[in-house]
């Protein structure tokens, strides 16, 4: 999918079953010259009455990829899990947000990032979207491309994520 400012995909009730553990995985390639711009990648993140619910992947203005998880409060920042380094290139990156139990993790190109957060989770009743941050706000659009978007209603293992990112583990073969 190729996105331009103001364009996104409304996936409707997709990911409706995500009420606990989840994994949101996708390949993302940002347009050249977009460093410092906020890019909503996808999710079901919503803010109602000042309180956040749902989840979303973004490339933040500080150029870090980030997972947000809403816990029903007005403090979204406590859930932030950011990439270890900023990304300003226009290369393809595999970005994965995982929630398992109360722990939130982020993987970039198959590698788990250092930061984690521990929060509650309140599922969003808004539609699942690709190409912007919030379901209900008309801003923070992705400028770039996205491919192979996957949503799971469970936490994938590090090995499963490495496989999605195209990384393989050498196995000993006794023959």
How far is the C-alpha of 153 from the C-alpha of 21, rounded, in Å? 6
pLDDT digits (tens, 9 = 90+) for 26-53: 999 999 999 999 999 999 999 989 999 9
Alpha helices, DSSP H, located in 21-145? none
Radius of gyration of the chain (CA): 16
pTM, to two decimals? 0.92
pLDDT digits (tens, 9 = 90+) for 94-147: 999 999 999 999 999 999 999 999 999 999 988 899 998 886 666 689 999 999
CA-angle at 60, arms to 58 and 65, nearest 5°: 55
């Amino acid at each position: 999918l190729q996105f331009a400012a103001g364009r996104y995909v409304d996936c409707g009730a997709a990911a409706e079953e995500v009420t606990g553990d989840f994994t949101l995985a996708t390949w993302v390639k940002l347009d050249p010259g977009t460093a410092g711009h906020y890019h909503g990648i996808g999710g079901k993140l919503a803010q109602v009455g000042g309180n956040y619910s749902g989840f979303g992947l973004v490339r933040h203005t500080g150029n870090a990829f980030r997972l947000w998880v809403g816990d029903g409060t007005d403090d979204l920042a406590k859930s932030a899990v950011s990439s270890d380094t900023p990304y300003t290139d226009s290369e393809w990156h595999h970005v994965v947000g995982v929630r398992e139990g109360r722990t939130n993790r982020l993987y970039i190109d198959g590698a788990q990032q250092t930061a984690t957060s521990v929060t509650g989770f309140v599922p969003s009743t808004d539609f699942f979207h690709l190409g912007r941050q919030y379901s209900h706000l008309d801003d923070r659009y992705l400028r770039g491309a996205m491919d192979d978007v996957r949503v799971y209603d469970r936490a994938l293992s590090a090995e499963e994520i490495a496989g999605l990112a195209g990384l393989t583990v050498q196995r000993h073969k006794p023959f």
